[in-house]
Amino acid sequence: MKVLGVDPGLTRCGVGVVDGVAGRPLTMIGVGVVRTPADAEIAHRLVEIERGIDTWLDEHRPDCVAVERVFSQHNVRTVMGTAQASAVAMLCAARRGLPVALHTPSEVKAAVTGSGRADKAQVGAMVTRLLRLDAPPKPADAADALALAICHIWRAPAVNRLQQAQAAARRAAPASVPAVGLRRAAPQKGTR
């Protein structure tokens, strides 16, 4: 499975492609950052992010895209920019019919380092080790994108099995009787 990981951001949007399957050594195919100038209008920045992600999708042809799930931060302006960049990544993938998976930062950290509270240096060190790189990818946004791809490769089989089990359970469940028109029987005299 080849996965494009996207660490969304307006100024630096990390992108990284990892190929492999769970339980086997993984291979980094490419890593980088889509940059936009902080003083440009938001609409133009989003277009640049779209062009950058489209270029990565065209060049690497991944099987799916893993994007960091936006979480609430104290800085609303930062979270809005991150959410907008995230939406652009999802749109680019959806246009090509690629599945999109969202992973929270703590899910990614836990998958890659074993701790959902790991810091950026720990994530970078583990990405370097797991992908057998000479040095951690720079900037941290690039390492985070690779970590997202790794997380998805490792989590996808379990998530797929869970989704299949849930679908099977829904198919096997008896149809429920509609409650409309049913009345509760009045208790008989002498019973409670």
Mind telling me the catalytic residues? 7, 68, 141
CA 44 to chain centre: 24
CA distance 183 to 81: 54
User: Which tokens sit at 63?
Assistant: 């099987």
**Separation CA 185–CA 56 (nearest Å):** 65
Rounded CA separation 128/130 (Å): 6
Q: Compute the distance between CA of residue 47 and CA of residue 13 in angstroms, rounded to an integer.
A: 13
């008896």: which residue's tokens? Answer: 174
The first and second tokens of residue 144, run together, are 């985070």
**Distance between terminal CA atoms of the chain?**
62
Q: Residue 159 phi/psi, 5° resolution? A: -65, -40
Contact by Cβ (8 Å): 31, 17: yes
Contact indicator for 2, 18 with CB cutoff of 8 Å: yes
